[in-house]
Copies of this chain bind each other. A is one copy, B any other.
Amino acid sequence: MAYKRSALMQERLADNRERIVRAARKLIGAGGLREASINAVAAQAGLSTGALYRYFPSKAELFVEVLNDAVRNEVAILDAIVDGEGSAAQRLRAAVRSFAERALEGPHLAYAFIAEPADAEVDAARILCRQQFGNVFKRVLREGIARGEFPAQALDVSAACIVGAYTEALVRPTATQTRRGAGDARLVAEIVEFCARAVGAPLDAGGSGKHHAKTQRTPKRKTA
């Protein structure tokens, strides 16, 4: 009779797949794509190299999945912020801050996902991801402009500039091995204000942008 996977087996397979993805994400987060060789990923996941190929046809496809997972998660968070309460300026600030804070938690991951190139295949996926980030910002911008909060501007250019601005500002210190923790809050605050000014948002009601009511709490990265 035909072979049928038991429920338990189903679960174990799904679990393996999950563990592979997580292993890859962890390694990328720790040391960029450079550190995430197939062997390393397999070892980290507690499987043999060969087994990996039962779950993913190639390294590239594995990475694309890792990328998409992470971005889906990220975009969901940003979406929630952008579709939330408050003025467009407030929401824009909250979105930038949220993204920046999480990026600082896993700098290599952010870098790998936004900038570090790999196969053509992965690159293609990444471009779509960047656009997804851009789209979130475009939404707030469009709304802010419609409401008269921001001056008229090219949405796509501004959105791309925002993504680029904080990417660079976040990645540079990473590369320079700057000590973590200390100046992070200030760094994030400055990036937020840079972006706010850039889109022509009015000054933050709370003052200089350093000590103001925390309108939106930044959720932690999903762990499940």
Contacts and interface: CB of A to CB of B under 8 A. Distances in A.
Interface of A: 32, 115-117, 123, 127, 130-131, 134, 151, 153-154, 157-158, 160-169, 171-172, 175-176, 186-187, 190-191, 193-195, 197-200
Contacts of A172: 127, 130-131, 134, 160
Contacts of A158: 190, 194
A116 to B, nearest CB: 6
Contacts of A151: 197
Contacts of A191: 157, 161
Contacts of A171: 164
Given A162-B165, A164-B167, A167-B164, A187 B157 contact: yes
Q: How many copies does the complex hold?
A: 2
Contact of A116 (B117, B168, B194, B195): B117
Nearest to A196: B198
A160 B154 contact: no
A88 to B, nearest CB: 15
Scoring A123, A160, A176, A199 by chain B CB atoms within 10 A of each residue's CB, the highest score goes to A160
A123 B175 contact: yes
Given A127-B176, A151-B197, 11 more contacts: A32-B117, A158-B194, A160-B169, A161-B166, A161-B194, A163-B168, A164-B167, A164-B169, A165-B165, A165-B198, A194-B199
Contact of A164 (B117, B168, B187): B168
The 5 A-B residue pairs with the shortest CB-CB distance, nearest first, are A164-B168, A198-B198, A161-B165, A157-B190, A164-B164
Nearest to A200: B197
A19 B167 CA distance: 35
A197 B162 CA distance: 12
Contacts of A123: 175
